[in-house]
Amino acid sequence: MADIRALEVSDLPAVRALMRAHLGGWDGDEAFLAATALEYPWADPEIPSLVATEDGRVVGWIAAAVRRLRFDDREIRGVCCSHLVVDPASRSTAAGALLLSRLLAGPQELTWSDSANDPVLRMWRIYGGQIDHSRACDWMLVLRPLRWLAGIAAAMPRRRAATRELIPVAAFPFQALGARRRADRDDASEVAGEDAGPAEVVESWPQLAVKRRIRPEYDRAFLGHLFSLIAGRDGPLTVRLVRRGTTPIGLYVCVPGRNGGVRVLHLSGREPDLPAVMGELVEHVRGQGAQFIVGRLEPHLDVPVRERLAAIGLARRPIVHSRDPELLAAVQADAALLTRLDSEWFWT
């Protein structure tokens, strides 16, 4: 049987080799693994990333990224876990199940993951996890239909089918053919966005998230570290505060996608103003030449996504676990604010 212990810096070369060999699509390096699993501002020695070893050799691991949250009036700890991978030669020793069991038994109140395959999903269910259906879909808006359609047409002879890079949502966006969304509100001219850094986001955050039962407790150190990581891996990072007059009403964070797309990692704001925040996002990235926008359909985004007639399609099977039934129910409601920025943002 495998031994389970906390990840150490000296394990990173073996972990990187394990991921490159057995986790399809992974192209990260040891520095990225250290920055996401060991050396980040919210790292907690009580909730470490874990490795499985056999005869001193690393045969599996699971990453634990601690998130500081607020649930109503109390502070809680959450964990976004990722990268559960085991050497095939060691899977008969239940190393994966032992890693997940140890992690879920930690002192955190809430644990989640975005990237479950069938074997991982079965393991989570054994330990009380469940699919978070409220975050299982992506939305897509096509901004430049002719360019987007031309890209699909060009890809067909080479690949026989358009890839997820061109059609990130498994549904045809009829909005791209000219379907009209509901007109913007009359006071949209009062809405404007501005580039922001960690300090500006933290200053405005209490006004933007005050009515969310579950929300991250962002601070400058954490956001500075996270924004730097995202920009270093995915290219220019856009972080914009949206104001109505001088009042902050929303925030969005996005990165360039492939084939002219933009990937939204976070969009939030005061409930009545979310359509206006979405509108500012659309106009800003359209002005930068984006062909389409894609993002995860968070529960609180139902109205702005619906008004824009965005295409919606199943994209992943996120999983959530908690020993607190009230917390578990609240996570999957529109009063919970947990976006891709708080999750596995590095997987498309």
Structure confidence by residue, pLDDT tens digits, 64-87 = 999 999 999 999 999 999 999 999
Query: Is-same-fold flag (3-135; 137-315)?
Result: yes
pLDDT value of residue 157: 65
pLDDT value of residue 106: 98
β-pairing verdict for 57-71 and 74-86 = antiparallel
Q: Would you put residue 153 in left (φ > 0), alpha (ψ -120 to 50) or beta?
A: alpha
Could you say which architecture CATH assigns to the domain 3-135? 3-Layer(aba) Sandwich (3.40)
Q: What is the DSSP string of 167-227?
A: --SSS--GGGGTPPPPPPPGGGGGEEEEE--HHHHHHHHHHHHTT-SEEE---HHHHHHHH
pLDDT value of residue 173: 76
- pLDDT, tens digit (0-9, with 9 covering 90-100), for 81-138: 999 999 998 888 899 999 999 999 999 999 999 988 899 999 999 999 999 999 999 9
Residues 6+ apart with CB under 8 A from 338: 78, 112, 135, 214, 216, 298, 331
* Residue ranges of domains in the chain: 3-135, 137-315
Residues 6+ apart with CB under 8 A from 96: 52, 60, 84, 86, 119, 120, 123
Q: How confident is the model at residue 186 (pLDDT cuts 50, 70, 90)?
A: very low
CATH topology of domain 137-315: Aminopeptidase (3.40.630)
Report phi then psi at 33, rounded to 5.
-60, -45
Percentage of the chain with pLDDT > 70? 93
Task: Please state the pTM of the whole predicted model.
Answer: 0.92
